[in-house]
A and B are shown apart, each in its own frame.
Chain A
Amino acid sequence: MAISEIVQDPSLLPILQTSAETLAQCQQLLALLDPATAPGSSPEVQEVSLAVSRQQKVLFALLARLRGQNRDATLRVRETKQATAEARQEIDRLHLQLQNLYYEQRHLNGEITACESYDHKYLSLPLIPIEEFLAIHPEHRESSDHDLMVARINHEHAEREKLEQARQELLKRKQALIAENKKRKDDLANLDQDLERFIDVSLSRDPLLCTIANGEYQAAKPIQKIFEKEYYNVPAMTGRNGELASSQTSSPAADDVTTTMSSTKASAQRLPPPEKAEAVRTRTGVIAAFWLVIILFGFPIWWKTTSIYRARLPIQEMIDWADGKRLTVYFYVVQACRPVFPLDIHVETPSLPPSEAQHLIRTTQHALDDLNEFSAHHLRLKLAEGSRGEEPYIDGESETGVEEKADTTLVVKLLPEDNLAGPRSELHADTSQLDVFYPPSQVPTFSSSNSPLSSFIAEELQKLFAEEKTTISHIISSSSSSPSPELAEDIGRRLRRTLKYADTYHLAFSLFTPGAEPSSWDIEGAVQEYLTPLLEAFSPISNFSVDTQVQIHAAFAPTAPLPTFDETQAAWTLKKEDLSAFINAAEWPLSPSIGAGPTINFILYVPSPSQAPLVIQGSHQATSWIVPQWGGVVLLNPPLALSDPSPRNPKHLSRESLRPAFLTFSHQLLTLLGTPTTPASLPFRLQTLMRVRAATLLLSASSTMGSLARLTESLPSIPIPATVAASVSTTLAHLSSACSHLREGRFAAALAAARVAEGEAERSFFEKSMVGQVYFPDEHKIAVYLPLLGPIGVPLLVALIKEIKRVVASRRS
């Protein structure tokens, strides 16, 4: 089939034509290029090539036309397609409408048929046949079907109403008849009773007559009376009986009914057989058994399970301790315990004869006593028996000799020195020894009761112990009676920043740095080197455990004020008031340690090289501060490695570079543990701390005892286990032993006892099981018990009461 036959669209015909031309042109070109007719010589070649190029141009023109026409055709096709699509859409829409209409029609048809074939109620009414109706109402013969039906229905309705009325009347009659019947029945029953009574009386007549005949007239008289009464009743009864009989003659069957009824009535009227004695006993036994179980098992179990165990505590004694009376019955000796601090001071006088030395000491003691105002704290001077070993306190050797004799607080060494105008003193910084240099001329003579030397020594000693005395009086009376309010204020401030006493403190050393370096430090060596001596010195007072951590890339809190560069100091500075925001508590892992006892945090902060050196604003370039009751912070600015253009922190902090920081930490530890600031000798200060701590612990343990006693009395619902009682007795024993140790001046032993007392007191107060039950008022108890016990209790109680009544009645009869 030729292509012209398929394509007949007039618009496409030019294309076909063009394509045919193009085809011809191509063939022409091919013919020209045919290798068979390839020209041999060059002019021919030129000619041929010319012809080819001409033909080619024509071909290109044709091709261009063809392309254009093709494009047109495509466009037309597209247009046609669109037109077709639109038309189809229209058709679809119309079709859809048509469908809808069709469905609507179908639906309506269905509805119509449904309506037409509706099964009306009236059609199923059971009406009288139409012929009968027409016979009754001939006037409807002419009316239409519809009217006829209406009339029929109305007629039916009227008929039915009539019938219903009749039914109601009949029902009423039936009711009346039933009532009548019932009345008759009751009369019959009464008749039965009368008959029975009559029969009873008539039966008992014979034996009664016998007794009368036997002549027992007295006894029979009242019975005879009864009989007479019954006897006279009989005629009336017979009368009624006759009446009834006449009324019932119409129904002979009723007679049988009445007789059977009377027989059953007679048996019900009879009493149950009397209980056997055995049954009564069994019942009593059962009730008794129930009550026995309740009383012997139920009650004790209830009591045991609901009662709260409360161990006995020596309440009065505990309160006495807390009130400060502290009367202790200890080995049957009643003694009042006041925390007193007799301090033994040994005086060494290598260059004085004993008698003079004795005199000197006596006068000095007098001077001291005159100066002292606080009676609980007094200094006792003693002449040293020869030379003795020094510094026993830090070594811990004092604990070995503590049981026998009192601790020596201070050694005063009197050294004569010529060419001296007045006496002067010098405290050894690393021992508890006071050297007093004096001109020999000032030794008091026997005649004088006072001398410049003795008063000088007294004043020196007074000065040395001034702070301790104030602190102790501050603690004991919880107020200050010191002569100088500044000192008292100072002590108050120090006590506030001091951590609460604990048996164990955790020391947490943390290295924080914002960069990646330093990432390690010789912490073990540093702790060993710089901290252990101090911790050893503290060992009689508290135990310590040490944790360390390194946190690199530890940034400041986003809200924290950043350090600023200070030109004059050539350093980055932190403002003093911003220091409390320095620690990024939210992100730096400084959570308290897991074990018991508080944590003291020591933070070593190495600033980033871009912010080094970092100091606190102020003239002195301080680099450390204390956070009260929490810990301390030290800023460490290590020498930067300047090899690079950008300086870097060293990777590792050696022990030597940690030295200043750790000595500062040691100082902060001293401060935080409440070591007094004066005098300038560390062993001396530690001893003072020991005494202060002993007093604190003694007071705190006693007040805990008082709290526990008051708690026990005020909360009757909390249980008190036996362990608490044991702890309390341990506490009290240790309190009194601490007290006696104090009185005799053995402070280390007193502190040890007070530590035990404090620990036990805390344990007893914070006993885990001593949590009071949730408040449970009595009405709640009733609400809980009543549904449980009511159903069981009521029958049991009633049975018990009945039984008791029975027993009482039988006793009486």
Chain B
Amino acid sequence: MRFSNTLVQAVCLVCLLVVLPVAAEHTSNWAVLVSTSRFWFNYRHLANVLSLYRTVKRLGIPDSQIILMLPDDMACNPRNAFPGTVYSNADRAVDLYGDNIEVDYRGYEVTVENFIRLLTDRLDEDVPRSKRLGSDAGSNVLVYMTGHGGDRFLKFQDSEEIGAWDLADAFGQMWEKKRYNELLFMIDTCQANTMYTHFYSPNIIATGSSALDQSSYSHHADNDVGVAVIDRWTYYVLEFLENQVTSANSKLTLGDLFDSYDESKIHSQPGLRWDLFPGGEQEGRLRTVADFFGNVQNVEVEDGNVTEPGSLKKDLDEIARLVEKWHQRDQVYQSFLDNNQTTENQQHISPQRTVQRRNAGATKMSDEKSWEKRAIGVSVLGACIAVWLTGSILGRTSA
């Protein structure tokens, strides 16, 4: 009994030792960057998002793991004095649009429904993987949103809005399905800090640009472009990311990023939320910026000369043997075929090998039963006519 007790204790100790570092590790990075407003005068929101896009791409997240939602195309707007470009600074040093940008959701595809579907992955089967958030239990996800918002809502495209409740539920579902390891939520909009008040799922760090009843302001305008080009909070976040986080190996932490907030510059009170994160603020501040903005890629070089089990050399031997055996079997099969049907040998060498290209004929896309629908329509029409007739007959007799 005593022995088993000590054993259990030892096992628990090992568990603790092993679990803690494992829990902190993640295997992939995803970024969801959303602008929610249309039209030329909201140029700065798209510039915000594109700046973030550029930063995460610079820090190594590939396009296939960035979901970029742009509701309008500022680069090709007829009012753009610099066609084909988007700038986030009046000095126009960096063209954010560039020649290499992958917008996943554009124009009227940027809706609340699509955003929630993206997060919860409740998408049609036909939706390509580049438009899906393929994160799993080992993924760190960065969600950045910008647009026009208010107390616990964010407007999408002037026509609808997402509430803090919806967002919280979407993250809740993501957590339920283990679609993230840790999540950093950033939002730059008026009264932004109200958007994350309803979150309830763990492992989320949230930060916003302004408190309740506060506006988020734009940073500066470019007189040649004619509109404001970036928001204040985003500008200073980017300033930190661009000037100090120079590579994905940077050791700067989220604490450093959040300490760089300067209310006198931002002109609003940026908010933080730590309570959902295990270990709270203390633990959360230790996460590096690259944990969310960069990409982990621990490549494993395979050495041809190491002979431990599972190494390249051993495996190569085994695979070679497998191939060899397959060869023999093929030959046996071949001879078997030869014996059976010598004449049709050519066509039957390997039925599974030949790639058969079947051209599917045209099919009707919908499987509606048109006759049924017509019958329903006819009966409804008939009923209406009957009601009308009886009404007119009755009216005549009474009159």
- Residues of A near any B CB (own CB < 8 A): 394, 429-430, 479-482, 485, 488-489, 492, 496-497, 500, 524, 528-530, 532-534, 536-537, 576, 579-581, 585-587, 590-594, 596, 598-599, 616, 618, 620-630, 663-664, 666-668, 670-671, 676-682, 703-704, 707, 710-711, 714-715, 765-772, 774-775
Contact = CB atoms under 8 A, between A and B. Distances in A.
B122 A770 contact: yes
Contacts of B381: none
B17 to A, nearest CB: 7
B112 A774 contact: yes
B309 interface: yes
A715 B299 CA distance: 41
A775 B310 contact: no
Contacts of B287: none
A315 B165 CA distance: 24
Interface residues of B, number: 73
A492 B64 contact: no
B298 A772 contact: no
Nearest to B58: A559
B27 interface: yes
Contacts of B91: none
A480 B17 CA distance: 10
A81 B63 CA distance: 76
Given A621-B304, A626-B300, A681-B318, 15 more contacts: A492-B18, A492-B22, A534-B319, A616-B301, A624-B302, A626-B299, A628-B27, A664-B312, A666-B319, A667-B312, A667-B319, A679-B309, A680-B318, A710-B176, A774-B162
B25 interface: yes
B120 interface: yes
Contacts of A488: 14, 18
A309 B89 CA distance: 51
B15 A480 contact: yes
A629 B28 contact: yes
A772 B169 contact: yes
Contact of A625 (B134, B138, B300, B355): B300
Interface of B: 11, 14-15, 17-19, 22, 25, 27-28, 57, 60, 62-64, 100, 112-113, 116-117, 120-125, 128-130, 134, 136, 138, 160-163, 165-166, 169, 172-173, 176-178, 297-306, 308-312, 314-323, 325-326, 353, 355
A624 B313 CA distance: 12
A768 B124 contact: yes
Contacts, number: 191
Contacts of B136: 500
A429 B325 CA distance: 12
B301 A618 contact: yes
Contact of A480 (B14, B64, B100, B304): B14
A461 B177 CA distance: 38
B302 A626 contact: yes
A537 B319 CA distance: 11
Contact of B63 (A485, A496, A585): A585
B299 A429 contact: no
B177 A707 contact: yes
B319 A479 contact: no
B128 A771 contact: no
26 contacts: A394-B322, A429-B321, A479-B15, A479-B19, A480-B15, A481-B11, A488-B18, A492-B18, A528-B353, A533-B319, A533-B326, A537-B322, A576-B299, A580-B299, A594-B129, A598-B129, A598-B134, A620-B305, A625-B300, A626-B300, A670-B315, A680-B314, A765-B177, A766-B120, A768-B123, A772-B166
B317 A429 contact: yes
Nearest to A597: B129
Nearest to B61: A585
A533 B323 contact: yes
B312 A599 contact: no
B177 A625 contact: no
A715 B310 contact: no
Nearest to A546: B355
A771 B116 contact: yes
Contacts of B113: 771
B129 A497 contact: no
A496 B27 contact: yes
A606 to B, nearest CB: 18
Given A680-B318, A774-B163, A627 B299 contact: yes
